[in-house]
Amino acid sequence: MQENRIFERRMKDILCRSMSLPDIDRQLYRKYNLTDEEISYIESTIKPME
């Protein structure tokens, strides 16, 4: 059982690292059901990470 949990955590870490920041942003926008207007505001206001 514990081995399965460790494996799941490692896989989640790997998947998260392999995604680009724009991919993560899109997932968050979808998760929180943001409108196009809200997304535009965020993208025009928040400075991109490097």
Give 18's pLDDT tier (boundaries 50, 70, 90). Answer: low
CA dihedral 31, 19, 38, 46 (to 10 degrees): 140
Position 41 scores a pLDDT of: 96
The most confident of the ranges 2-6, 11-15, 37-41 is 37-41
Domain residue ranges in the chain: 20-50
Give the list of residues 6+ apart from residue 29 with CB closer than 8 angstroms, or none.
Answer: 39
Q: What are phi and psi of 24, to 5 degrees?
A: -65, -40
